[in-house]
Copies of this chain bind each other. A is one copy, B any other.
Amino acid sequence: MTTEPAGLRERKKQATRRALREAALRLALERGPDNVRVDDIAEAAGVSPRTYNNYFSSREQAIVAAVIADRGSRVAAAVAGRPANVGLADAVIDAIVEQYAEPGEDARNALLMITTRPALRDAFIDAATAVERPLAEAIAGRLGETHDHTPRVLAASVAAAVHVALERWLQPAGASLVTDELVVSSGSLPELLRSVLAPLRPALDAAASAGTE
């Protein structure tokens, strides 16, 4: 299903893409992100600097992409893989939390580097938008063929909530607004994710029950 044989053309493209993002991350970790120019990444990946920008539209994107990789499709697969008797809300929320649970040791200090540089931090947060499209298709699969905007909107909302969670999570110590209250940047990411996704539960449930009626 997900195994497209694909032509030589497509395979080379994917190879170049992964070569670029891995080179970007490796160099950034070795010398620090500020001491890596686009030219260096391109050279390390064996392509011209101009070609780099055919794959990534910013320097930060490549570094972040190496950490995120294909989180989008993994989330989509996780949603699709949940048994049919669990509700849509649980399927989606569990899939998100599961895929954002941080794994490897190597990814951990990559994240450490990312969170310290504002530009990288922003790119990382924005990358959450990438789940929207695959997630929308997975949701559509569970809702049956509704050809309105519901799956897109739900997926976009979930992505937006994740966005909020990541912002909160990476916030150094926000200068609070009018009411300064003890806002602890707080607990684990999974916990935070469940917390921000909770308000969307009614919308997910409603869409699911509307689909099965």
Contact = CB atoms under 8 A, between A and B. Distances in A.
A205 interface: yes
Interface in A158-198: 159-161, 163-165, 168, 177, 181, 195-197
A80 to B, nearest CB: 15
A202 B195 contact: no
A165 B150 CA distance: 11
A153 interface: yes
A156 interface: yes
Contact of A156 (B149, B160, B206): B160
A163 B168 contact: no
Give the top 9 A-B pairs by smallest Cβ distance, nearest first.
A157-B157, A156-B160, A202-B206, A203-B203, A160-B160, A202-B202, A150-B199, A153-B199, A202-B203
11 contacts: A149-B165, A149-B168, A153-B160, A153-B161, A156-B160, A157-B203, A199-B203, A200-B203, A202-B202, A202-B203, A202-B205
